[in-house]
Structure 1
């Protein structure tokens, strides 16, 4: 793997997980020393992060990690609504029902997984199941441009999820919502799949806004 690719992946992971929080300045000298690479591949990595929208140009040499606000999240969900509803609709038309029937069953039984994840702040087990549903939908939709656009949106959603501070009650609700989406796709009902996705996204945005609103 090229040095620029390693640096990009490392910095992207640190941004998504909050190790490099919004507002952090990523100076070229500091980051090249931290990652053990020269400044040329680091600049390439920083340029890719800026193209992703995870960083923005900063005065001097380097970039700054972009902020996440209710307004930017609302815009992100507007785009997510258009992309994910379309992807679910296409998946219902083109996908293999058996794949989504199995995913529906797994989400219906996700309560045990969520409880087992209780000692894991990242909820990695449950989100791995969500990622499998996303991958299955992308594969079934069979539209490379749509999948590429969704990949960028999901990158930003990973940051939003951390700020929203998921709780077990909300995770159980999302499991039911994902089960409904999978069931609609398995039933080959494009309209229902899109509607179920829309409901899930609306509730997810409501949860984020409630979780991040100042008290009072």
Structure 2
């Protein structure tokens, strides 16, 4: 892996996992020292993060980690719903039954995974990644796949704000199963509608988690 790719992946994960919080200054010199790299690959990584929308310039301070507001979360899910609906329709029309059979088996193991407590949560999200990968392989539109990748990065960042309650994850697994069944049946309309239902429920859960936090986790409005 190139040094710039390594720097990009590490910083991207730190931003998505909130180890680098919104507003954190991304100084080339400091990051170069911390990552043990020269400034050139770090600069290239920061350029990619800016293109991804995870970093942004700010007056006089160079780059910072992009802020996130409640309105940003709503806007993200509006776009994500449009893209994921389209992807689900593609998958239903160009279904790869074997791929989704594997996903279904993994989703059906969710209750047993979550019964183990917090230790099962990472494996559940591995199953979600398996679902996303199956969708991507069924989508022939490279532009749609690229757009989805960007949106999912931001969605993963936002998800870290909500509590991974097993009840919600069990419901989400059932919602994913409905999408999988519609795709395998070749029902594009149902696959799209089931996707909308799932994402609407996910958004409600995130907003509920934010509103019930003892102190505000995000500003209400991130727009000027």
TM-score w.r.t. structure 1 length? 0.93
Give me the whole-angstrom Cα distance separating, in 2, the residues matched to 1:36 and 1:98: 44
Tell me whether 1:50 sits opposite 2:50 in the alignment. yes
Q: Which residue of 1 aligns with 2:206?
A: 208
Tell me whether 1:132 sits opposite 2:115 in the alignment. no
Give me the whole-angstrom Cα distance separating, in 1, the residues matched to 2:212 and 2:128: 29
Give me the whole-angstrom Cα distance separating, in 2, the residues matched to 1:10 and 1:109: 31
Q: Which residue of 2 aligns with 1:177?
A: 175
* Equivalent residues, number: 214
**What is the Cα deviation at residue 61 of structure 1?**
5.7
Tell me whether 1:157 sits opposite 2:155 in the alignment. yes
Preserved contact between residue 58 and residue 64 of structure 1 (Cα < 8 Å): yes
Give me the whole-angstrom Cα distance separating, in 2, the residues matched to 1:164 and 1:107: 21
**What is the Cα deviation at residue 215 of structure 1?**
5.9
TM-score w.r.t. structure 2 length? 0.90
Preserved contact between residue 85 and residue 196 of structure 2 (Cα < 8 Å): yes
**What is the Cα deviation at residue 119 of structure 1?**
3.3
Alignment of 1:7-22 (within 5 A): 7-22=7-22
Higher helix proportion (structure 1 or 2): 1
Unaligned runs of 5+ in 1: none
Describe the superposition over 1:23-48 as per-residue Cα deviations: whole angstroms up to 9, x where unpaired: 11111111111011122221111111
Preserved contact between residue 107 and residue 177 of structure 2 (Cα < 8 Å): yes
Unaligned runs of 5+ in 2: 215-224
CA separation of 1:187/1:50 partners in 2, compared to 1, >3 Å: closer, same or farther? same
Give me the whole-angstrom Cα distance separating, in 1, the residues matched to 2:149 and 2:100: 20
Q: Which residue of 1 aligns with 2:37?
A: 37
Give me the whole-angstrom Cα distance separating, in 1, the residues matched to 2:185 and 2:89: 11
Q: Give the aligned CA root-mean-square deviation in angstroms.
A: 1.6
Preserved contact between residue 57 and residue 64 of structure 1 (Cα < 8 Å): yes
Give me the whole-angstrom Cα distance separating, in 2, the residues matched to 1:215 and 1:2: 40
Runs of 4+ in structure 1 deviating by more than 6 angstroms, as ranges, are none
**What is the Cα deviation at residue 165 of structure 1?**
1.8
Give me the whole-angstrom Cα distance separating, in 2, the residues matched to 1:119 and 1:132: 18
CA separation of 1:173/1:31 partners in 2, compared to 1, >3 Å: closer, same or farther? same
Give me the whole-angstrom Cα distance separating, in 2, the residues matched to 1:211 and 1:34: 33
